[in-house]
Amino acid sequence: MKRFFSTIAIVLMLATTTVSAQKTKPIYLDNNAPIEQRVEDALSRMTLHEKIQVIHAQSKFTSAGVPRLGIRQLNMDDGPHGVREELEWNTWSPAKWTNDSIVAFPSLTCLAATWNRDLAALYGNALSEEFAFRGKDILLGPGVNMARMPLNGRAFEYMGEDPYLAGEMVVPYIKAAQANGVACCIKHFFMNNQEVDRFTANVNASERAINEIYLPAFKKAVEEAHVWCVMGSYNLWQGIHCCHNDSLLNGILKRQWGFDGAVISDWGGTTDTWQAATGGLDIEMGSFTDGKIKESEFTYDDYYMARPMETLIKEGKLDVSYLDDKVRRVLRTMFRTCMNPDKAIGKQCSEDHYEACQAIGEEGITLLRNEKNILPIAPERYKKILVVGENATRSLTQGGGSSELKTLRDISPLEAIKKLYGNKVDYAQGYLSGRALYDQVDEVIPSERVRLREEALRKAKEADLIIYIGGLNKNHKEDCENGDRLGYDLSFEQNELIQGLAKIQKNMIVITFGGNPYAMPWLKNIKGLLHCWYLGSMGGDALAGVLSGKVNPSGKLPVTFAKSLEDYPYYQYGKKAYPGVNKQVYYSEGIYIGYRHFDTRKVEPQFPFGYGLSYTSFKYGKPMLSSPSITNDAPITVSVPVTNTGKVSGKEIVQLYIGDMECSVDRPRKELKNFVKLDLAPGETRMAEFTITLDDLKYYSEAIHDWTVEPGTFRAYLSTNSSDEGCYVEFNY
Q: Decide if pLDDT at 186 tops 50.
A: yes
Quick one: average pLDDT of 239-246? 98
Provide the pLDDT for residue 450: 95
pLDDT band at 22 (very low <50, low <70, confident <90, very high): very low
Show Cβ contacts of residue 413 under 8 Å, excluding neighbours closer than 6 positions.
387, 391, 392, 393, 469, 511, 539, 540, 543, 544
Q: Point out the catalytic residue in the list 78, 100, 266, 696.
A: 266
**Between 3 and 144, where is the model more confident?**
144
Pair 518, 617: CB distance under 8 Å? no
Residue 79: count other Cβ atoms within 10 Å of its Cβ: 23
Nearest to 648 by CA among 366, 356, 373: 373
Q: Where are the alpha helices (DSSP H) in 46-162?
A: 48-53, 108-114, 117-133
- pLDDT of 25 reads 82
The residues pairing with 370 across neighbouring beta strands, listed in sequence order, are 528
User: Strands across the sheet with 62-63, in order?
Assistant: 62-63, 74-77, 138-139, 183-189, 229-232, 262-264
Instruction: Using only the alpha carbons of the chain, give its radius of gyration.
Output: 27
Q: Each residue of 448-476: pLDDT tens digit?
A: 889 999 999 999 999 999 999 999 999 99
Order of strands, sheet of 236-237, starting from the edge strand that comes earlier in the sequence: 240-241, 236-237, 202-204, 584-586
Average pLDDT score over the chain: 94
Whether 227 contacts 174, CB under 8 Å? yes
| 297-301, 362-366, 649-653, 656-660: the lowest-pLDDT one | 297-301
Question: What's the rounded mean pLDDT across residues 70-74?
Answer: 98
What's the confidence (pLDDT) of residue 288? Answer: 78
632-637 long-range Cβ contacts below 8 angstroms, 24+ apart: 632/694, 635/691, 635/692, 635/693, 635/694, 636/691, 636/692, 636/731, 637/689, 637/690, 637/691, 637/692
For residue 531, say if its preceding peptide bond is cis, omega within 30 degrees of 0: no
Residue 12: its pLDDT value, please?
A: 39
Average the pLDDT over 647-658 and give the result: 98
End-to-end CA distance of the chain: 95
User: Percentage helix, strand, coil, to 5, in the chain?
Assistant: 35, 20, 45
pLDDT number for residue 153: 96
Contact 228, 124 (CB under 8 A): no
The alpha carbon of residue 120 and the mean position of all alpha carbons in its chain are separated, in whole angstroms, by 11
**pLDDT for residue 90:** 87
Say yes or no to pLDDT of 439 above 50.
Answer: no
Q: Per-residue pLDDT averaged across 403-407, rounded?
A: 93
- Check: CB of residue 276 under 8 Å from CB of residue 270: yes
Q: If you average pLDDT over residues 375-380, what whole number do you get?
A: 95
Residue 641: per-residue pLDDT: 98
Return the pLDDT at 444.
Answer: 53
Rounded average pLDDT over 55-69: 97
Question: Above 70 in pLDDT, residue 21?
Answer: no
Please name every residue paired with 624 in a beta bridge, in sequence order, or none if there are none.
639
Average pLDDT over residues 421-448: 76
Q: Is the pLDDT of residue 436 over 50?
A: no
Q: What are 98-133's pLDDT values in tens digits?
A: 999 999 999 999 999 999 999 999 999 999 999 999
pLDDT digits (tens, 9 = 90+) for 275-315: 999 999 999 999 976 544 555 567 899 999 999 999 999 99
pLDDT value for 23:
57
Taking 60 as the threshold, does the pLDDT of residue 7 lie above it? no
- Total residue length of the chain: 733
CA distance 244 to 303: 14
* CA–CA separation, 461 and 54 (whole Å): 65
* Alpha helix (H) residue ranges in 146-272: 163-178, 207-209, 216-223
Q: Are strands 229-232 and 183-189 parallel, antiparallel or unpaired?
A: parallel
Alpha carbon distance 86, 551 (integer Å): 35
The one-letter amino acid at 594: G
What pLDDT, on a 0 to 100 scale, did the predictor assign at position 5? 38
Phi-psi region of 275 (alpha: psi -120 to 50; beta: other; left: phi over 0): alpha
Strand partners, 203: 237, 585
* Residue in 524, 527, 422 with CA at minimum distance from that of residue 465: 527
The one-letter amino acid code at 727 reads C
DSSP state letter for 372? G
Residue 660 Cα to chain centre, angstroms: 30
Q: Is the pLDDT of residue 442 over 60?
A: no
The pLDDT of residue 376 = 98
Domains belonging to the chain, first-starting first, are: 2-101+135-336 (3.20.20.300), 351-558 (3.40.50.1700), 616-732 (2.60.40.10)
Q: How many CB atoms lie within 10 A of CB 548?
A: 17
Mean pLDDT confidence for 60-81: 96
- Using alpha carbons, select from 283, 267, 270, 368 the residue that is nearest to residue 323: 283
Q: Is the pLDDT of residue 567 over 80?
A: yes
Compute the distance between CA of residue 555 and CA of residue 341 in angstroms, rounded to an integer: 39
Please say whether the beta carbons of 431 and 492 come within 8 A: yes
The answer to whether 213 touches 170, Cβ cutoff 8 Å, is no
Concatenated DSSP letters for 675-708? EEEEEE-TT-EEEEEEEE-GGGG-EEETTTTEEE
pLDDT number for residue 91: 85
- Is 266 one of the annotated active-site residues of the chain? yes
User: What does the pLDDT average to over 212-231?
Assistant: 98
Average pLDDT over residues 600-609: 98
What 579-583 contacts at long range (C-beta under 8 Å, 24+ apart), as own/partner pairs, is 579/194, 579/196, 579/197, 579/201, 579/484, 580/196, 580/197, 580/201, 583/197, 583/200, 583/201, 583/202
Q: Are 484 and 477 in contact (CB under 8 A)?
A: yes
Q: Residue 624 to residues 46, 95, 309, 627: CA-CA distances in angstroms?
A: 62, 60, 62, 9
Phi-psi region of 291 (alpha: psi -120 to 50; beta: other; left: phi over 0): left
**Mean per-residue pLDDT, 149-168:** 98
